[in-house]
Structure 1
Amino acid sequence: MKISPRIVFMGTPEFAVPSLEKLVEAGYPVVGVVTATDKMGGRGGKQLLESPVKVAAQRLGIPVLQPKNLKDPGFQNELRALNADLQIVVAFRMLPEAVWDMPELGTFNLHGSLLPKYRGAAPINWAVIQGELETGATTFFIRHEIDTGDILQQLRIPIGENDTAGDVHDRMMHDGANLVVDTVRQIEAGDYELRKQDDTAATPAPKLNREMARIDFDRPVREVHNFVRGLSPWPAAWTLLGGEQLKVIRTRVEAARTEGAPGTVVTDGKTQLKVACQDGYLYIHELQLAGRKRMAVEEFLRGVDVAEGTVLG
């Protein structure tokens, strides 16, 4: 009788939850989950926030470990006591060698790109920002340098011309979960071939922040559009309207001869708001003014008077 490998799952955000759920649905014994520590948040910072993976693990009846320090000997002893054959990492943090080298079958990670492209913390975002027509997901065995281990499996995911990073994230969250289960099946059967990454083809995907998200309209309109959708929904590309921060969430492109300087607004004051770029107009469909909710452009224009010829920046 074949005995399935004992698995420890490591992850924190919503992106990782379908992978955990599908492993359990497939009948694999997930003997423990490692996730981020709880934190205080919400209105006034008075609400205890648990990670989505912790909530899912408790619902599934799986023991949860929440170490502050992955190098802590006490945590490592607890992890070792779970006697895992295989560890799986989906959207967690860097592991020390003592952790990733612990199980007999190794530790593999699900990464949101077609490695070696877009190594780093924000692979989905940067693929969209760079105007890629497709991206994908990769499972690979963890080694010392981040996102450099030998590849187990990959799948390709198309990127539509108006897809946001959030759209791609939501598709990859489920397609990647299936890839995780398929990878476990291959490891369980011992039926896989590892492929080394070509470091010369590697591209970076550094962490995002709000400071880098300011829109420069003095660029080709397609580049501006890609920038906006690559930063949507977070941290959200932004500009200034009358000195207030205006987040731009969804856009589309019109290639046309423009009038006025880059950043100049053309609007009917009711349903249409577009902004001049170098070689066309950026139509804004969804946006958010500081202190207000996100809304469609029609709702926004009902409450905010944006004059024709206003310059955003």
Structure 2
Amino acid sequence: MKIVFMGSAEFAIPSLEKLLNSHHEIIFAVSAPDKERGRGKKISFTPLKEFAIEKGLEVLTPINLKDEEFIQKLKKTNADLFVIVAFRILPKEVLQIPQKGSINLHASLLPKYRGAAPIHWALINGEKETGVTTFFLDEKVDTGNIILQEKIKIEDDDNLGSLYEKLKILGADVLLKTIEKIENGFYELTKQDNSLATPAPKITKELCKIDLKRTSVEIHNLVRGLSPHPSAILEYNGKSYKIIKTRLTNFNSQNSETIITTKKEIFLKTSDGYLEILELQPEGRKKMSAEEFLRGYSF
């Protein structure tokens, strides 16, 4: 089939690569506009655009998705399908252009975790499984009819980084299966039950702050869901620390201090006990283990 692929984040790269290696034709890619980044204000591309250019694909980067010139270019492709992975919300006039519709790959088991940060929230909420969903797009975000879903177990040692890697590979496989089903016409749609929907809103700076009134498990899951980036933040004695990795522990103490240290260990007092800090990053410093930190710093 003739496909226009739309995406921006690194999550979309395995999906595009899988389609480029299939018998389908990728007409061109669409990605978010280029941005100035860093002190030097260098122009940088999205990860998807960089990859697409390496593969010799034309890439469009419209600022306004309702721009008439952009819409006309999409119409002239006579595409069978628009495939969207980790991109922006598309206007109705774009969704309705391709003959067979527009499909999206989402990193959750919809209708759970609709929104911008489904992988983060699955970990923050302590879920034991998640997965990927392909569905036909409609006007409301992440609400369209489901084509395929595949589950994956969330391991105890998974964090945002490891789960992201697993889901982007799984997602690419499921997306190709979905496109082949659409091509052959052999698929059944499942309507989403809106009563089971849960939100996955964008991660804010406020959410990243560790609240010591929370339980050890809640803080541990927050750290997992934000690691390695943007990271959970511990504010203590006027200083800020990124907490990269923690471990649930049976450690106990009669000491009322918020942080207790040994020669090699750091324990954080929570509402129901203690949580061991394994990796952290002081402000303006590199990431280090608890033992490395304690050799040169103190709280």
TM-score (norm 1): 0.92
Measured in 2, the distance between the counterparts of 1:283 and 1:79 equals: 53
Is there any run of 5+ residues in structure 2 with no aligned partner, and where?
A: none
TM-score (norm 2): 0.96
Select the residue among 302, 305, 313 that pairs with 2:298.
305
Residue matched to 2:35: 39
Question: What does residue range 95-106 of structure 1 map to in structure 2 within 5 Å?
Answer: 95-106=90-101
Select the residue among 188, 194, 210 that pairs with 1:199.
194
Contact 1:255 / 1:279 at 8 angstroms: preserved in 2? no
Q: 1:111 to 1:258 in 2, by over 3 A?
A: farther
Question: What does residue range 58-207 of structure 1 map to in structure 2 within 5 Å?
Answer: 58-207=53-202
Letter paired with 1:267:
T
Measured in 2, the distance between the counterparts of 1:99 and 1:22 equals: 24
Deviations 1:88-130 (A, max 9, x none): 1000010001111110010000111000001111111111011
Is 1:279 matched up with 2:275?
Answer: no
Residue matched to 1:17: 13
CA RMSD, Structure 1 to Structure 2 (Å):
1.3
What SS does the corresponding residue of 2:249 show, helix, strand or coil?
Answer: strand
Measured in 1, the distance between the counterparts of 2:86 and 2:174 equals: 14
Letter paired with 2:262:
D
Residue 235 of structure 1, CA deviation = 2.3
Residue matched to 1:223: 218
Measured in 2, the distance between the counterparts of 1:26 and 1:256 equals: 53
Residue matched to 2:229: 234
Residue 251 of structure 1, CA deviation = 0.8
Residue 297 of structure 1, CA deviation = 1.8
Runs of 4+ in 1 over 4 A off after TM superposition: none
Query: How many equivalent pairs are there?
Result: 299
Deviations 1:45-92 (A, max 9, x none): 422211111111111111111000000101111122222110110000
Residue 272 of structure 1, CA deviation = 1.0
Is 1:294 matched up with 2:287?
Answer: yes
Contact 1:237 / 1:249 at 8 angstroms: preserved in 2? yes
Residue matched to 1:267: 261
Q: 1:165 to 1:273 in 2, by over 3 A?
A: same
Measured in 1, the distance between the counterparts of 2:65 and 2:98 equals: 15
Residue matched to 1:311: none
What SS does the corresponding residue of 1:125 show, helix, strand or coil?
Answer: helix
